[in-house]
């Protein structure tokens, strides 16, 4: 699977009755696709994967595939108990998804061989990117072993252990080659991309892309001042309340004029004063992004 550019993780919208708002999701994904992300990861962490029923998960994937129209890869979240992960994987395959982001299993964690068997079973359905976070902490040797499984195509790092991920990258490149994908999956990944690029990881998931794609794309185009002017203050705001890595994204989508509804428990919606702070951050970030675009255009015209 050849991924490139910014990886788009849309939110999952709900209506006033708490049901999946399919039309809003289609509009949300459509707006993001206008900015040409490298892939759409639907019903994943930002999409409140743990809070979705299997029927909602299936519907969300179908909406994303329809919106992408084959022009952008669509990957779906899958995970939890093996039976659930397999049902999600099969439903995603039937909907036309290109692959899966495999979340950590819940609670029960067996030995190395058990996790390998878990990954192998799901990868038989659709190509899998393994999500390393929480209970899934893999050694370089384990990742090499998993990368040899047909259908295992990448690793998303949500740990942020640079020493570990560097050794993982080196081991996989040495034993497997360049085709295996790695990406930075930390919340607000732009803040840590300097470190990840230094170890050869160029791909990253962008929560900001979901509500301010012009800021996310300006950063990708070289607007490094956004790190201090936008991303670092955003991380400070995100750190005020557990779960804000999702709640603030939904609040940001609402600021664009599209109502994604509330987050589901155990998450809580962003407090009004934090939404106001986010709105000001986005306003300033857009100004910085616009100034970078003008400067770049002026330099190109010389």
Binding-site members for pyruvate are: 46
Q: How far apart are CA 38 and CA 25, in angstroms?
A: 18
Q: How many angstroms separate the first and last alpha carbons of the chain?
A: 39
Collect contacts of 25-28 with beta carbons under 8 A, ≥24 apart. Answer: 25/60, 25/63, 25/64, 26/63, 26/66, 26/67, 27/258, 28/210, 28/253, 28/258, 28/260
DSSP state of 47: T
Alpha-carbon distance of 56 to 263, in angstroms, equals: 14
Residues of each annotated binding site: 46
CA 11 to chain centre: 10
Q: Which residues contact 108 (CB under 8 A, 6 or more apart)?
A: none
Q: Which of 131, 204, 219, 244 is catalytic?
A: 131
Residue 111 burial (C-beta neighbours within 10 Å; 0-12, 13-18, 19+): exposed
- Pairwise CA distance, residues 14 & 30, whole Å: 17
Active site residue 106: no
- CA distances, 221 to each of 132, 214, 216, 224, 292 (Å): 28, 10, 9, 9, 9
- 240 has catalytic annotation: no
Number of other CB atoms surrounding residue 75 within 10 Å: 30
Please tell me whether the peptide bond between 266 and the residue prior to it is cis, using omega within 30 degrees of 0: yes
Catalytically annotated residue among 106, 118, 156, 204:
156
Active site residues: 131, 156
């Amino acid at each position: 699977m050849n991924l490139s550019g910014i990886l788009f993780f849309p939110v999952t919208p709900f209506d006033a009755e708490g049901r999946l708002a399919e039309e809003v999701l289609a509009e949300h994904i459509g707006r993001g696709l206008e900015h040409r992300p490298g892939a759409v990861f639907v019903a994943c962490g930002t999409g409140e994967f743990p809070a979705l029923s299997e029927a909602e998960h299936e519907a969300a994937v179908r909406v994303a595939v329809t919106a992408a129209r084959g022009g952008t890869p669509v990957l779906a979240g899958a995970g939890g108990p093996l039976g659930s992960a397999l049902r999600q994987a099969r439903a995603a395959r039937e909907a036309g998804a290109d692959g899966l982001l495999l979340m950590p299993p819940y609670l029960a964690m067996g030995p190395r061989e058990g996790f390998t068997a878990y990954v192998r079973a799901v990868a038989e359905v659709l190509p899998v990117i393994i999500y390393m976070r929480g209970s899934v902490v893999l050694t370089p040797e384990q990742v090499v072993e998993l990368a040899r499984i047909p259908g295992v195509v990448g690793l998303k790092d949500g740990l942020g252990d640079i020493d570990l991920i560097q050794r993982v990258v080196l081991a996989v490149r040495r034993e497997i080659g360049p085709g295996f994908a790695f990406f930075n999956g930390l919340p607000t990944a732009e803040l840590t991309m300097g470190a990840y690029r230094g170890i050869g990881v160029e791909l990253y998931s962008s929560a900001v892309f979901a509500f301010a794609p012009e800021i996310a794309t300006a950063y990708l185009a070289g607007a490094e001042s956004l790190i201090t002017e936008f991303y670092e203050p955003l991380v400070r705001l995100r750190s005020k309340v557990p779960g804000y890595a999702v709640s603030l994204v939904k609040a940001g989508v609402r600021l664009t004029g599209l109502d994604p509804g509330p987050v589901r428990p155990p998450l809580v919606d962003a407090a009004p004063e934090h939404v106001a702070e986010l709105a000001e951050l986005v306003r300033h970030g857009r100004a910085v992004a616009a100034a970078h675009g003008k400067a770049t255009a002026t330099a190109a015209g010389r």
